[in-house]
A = this chain, B = another copy of it.
Amino acid sequence: MDAEFMQIAIALSIENVRSGRGGPFGAVIAKGREIIATGANQVTSANDPTAHAEIVAIRAACQKLQDFQLSGCDLYTSCEPCPMCLGAIYWARPDQVYYASSREDAASAGFDDEFIYSQITLPVDRRKIPMRQALQQEAEAAFRAWEEMLHKIRY
């Protein structure tokens, strides 16, 4: 753990509030001693509900490395990732994640993380945003096309 990288993530989270760009969240992605990318929450200023600090940083780091994986990288985030960002972390696969505030701290400050964590474990038909399955058989053709595809890039 490099305390300096976490201090930068926290500084970004505070600066982000003061600048009015978005919520109090910042992130740093480092590879060894080098910072590859940083991010701060831009949900309201960019009209992008997915623009959480971690996702902004992951996207920027992948652009810089021209890779869709962050093997060998560490993610420092000012707050425990929400389920969306945790999912993004599992797809990007950094080596290690460090976080400062907890999801409970985020919930106390009015951010929905804890609610979303509780929704994810519910059966589909008991979630607050209604979800319904339709045309499952028609969609099988997509996975068949994928299986038959030669030279595909797995991720």
Contacts and interface: CB of A to CB of B under 8 A. Distances in A.
A96 B125 CA distance: 12
B7 A135 contact: yes
Contacts of A106: 143
A6 B138 CA distance: 10
A34 interface: no
A120 B87 CA distance: 8
Q: Please give the count of copies of this chain that the complex contains.
A: 2
A49 B135 contact: no
A78 B25 contact: no
Interface in A62-80: 62-63, 65-70, 78-80
Given A18-B145, A143-B109, A131 B97 contact: yes
Interface string A1-31: 1010011001001100110101111100000
Contact of A6 (B95, B98, B134): B134
A97 B131 CA distance: 5
A139 B63 CA distance: 28
Interface of A: 1, 3, 6-7, 10, 13-14, 17-18, 20, 22-26, 43-44, 47-50, 55, 58-59, 62-63, 65-70, 78-80, 82-102, 105-106, 108-110, 112, 115-117, 119-121, 124, 129-136, 138-143, 145-147, 149, 152-155
